[in-house]
Amino acid sequence: MKVILNKINMLVSLFLVLLLSIFSSTINAKEVEKKGLRAAGCKTEYFLLHDLSRGFKSNKNIDLETSGTGNMVALKLLADGETDFAFTCKHHIPLVKKAKITPEDSESWATISIAKDPIVVLVHRSNPVVNLTMSQLRGIFSGSITNWKEVGGESMPIRVSRFNDEVGSGVLTVFKEIVMGKKKDGTLIDLLSSAKQFPGPTNIGAHLSQNPGAIAFMGFNSYNRRYGSRLNINGFSSTRENIIKGTYPLVANYYIIYDKKNRDKKELKAFFDYIQSDEGIQIANQSFVSDISIP
């Protein structure tokens, strides 16, 4: 009988140890989960946040889950406490009104600038045109301007080229937003349907360098001198100085919106420190122009 009781006690002890181990693992898993960050926002800025999140994970061992939900959804998630910060292409003040966020929910929010996403417009090196207005650029990419003589150049057909829709980049969307604008229903106006399409900047550059009448656009950091000449837009060249100052017009501005009440959260503070570090700035400058300003 004593032997049986000992075995029962042993089994009960093992069961309790196992139960304690499962409970402890659950608590630890929740603690690990709390160490991560969640962010949602602009679908074009997503590419920047995705790159920064990988570096942040590698450097700080903290996960940053990013979702390209769009600005409005991201702000509502922030107001509901479902995300740690929103990444947007506009300051939070005009967005709050549009998203119908109450002043009480957003009074402690702050917006910080992190980067600019400039686009350059290129032509063949032999093309004498050095400047286009935004109106002329829109006319060329919509198909209403078809010859270079209409914008001060030689009599030569304009050959429009662009990225195809499958390219994993925000450049095409940003160009449409800034240059083409939106239809009455809110959707972006598309580019000339007959434009020659390419899968990336290298392909566009090769085409451009061999066709005197060609015009194309690409991200600032994708440009290579052998592709062709960069055009001034509205009289301003695409230098870093003009991009930072805001005088060059083909630039999307990227921001982070967060609740100042959470500013001291360890993981959020670590992320802000990281994007201001040399490594974070280097990552931002690979495809964008770093413009980090955190008070």
Angle between helices 71-79 and 92-99 (to 10 degrees): 80
- Phi and psi (nearest 5°) for 38? -120, 140
- Per-residue pLDDT tens digits for 93-134: 988 988 889 888 999 999 999 999 999 999 999 999 999 999
In angstroms, the CA 74 to CA 88 distance is: 8
List, for residues 196-227, the tens digit of each pLDDT value: 999 999 999 999 999 999 999 999 989 999 99
**What local confidence, expressed as pLDDT, does residue 20 receive?**
47
Nearest to 120 by CA among 213, 204, 3, 13: 204
CA distance linking residue 14 with residue 275, whole number of Å:
48
Work out the widest C-alpha separation in the chain, in whole angstroms.
Answer: 108
What pTM was estimated for this model as a whole? 0.78
Mind listing the domains of the chain with CATH numbers?
38-116+251-293 (3.40.190.10), 118-245 (3.40.190.10)
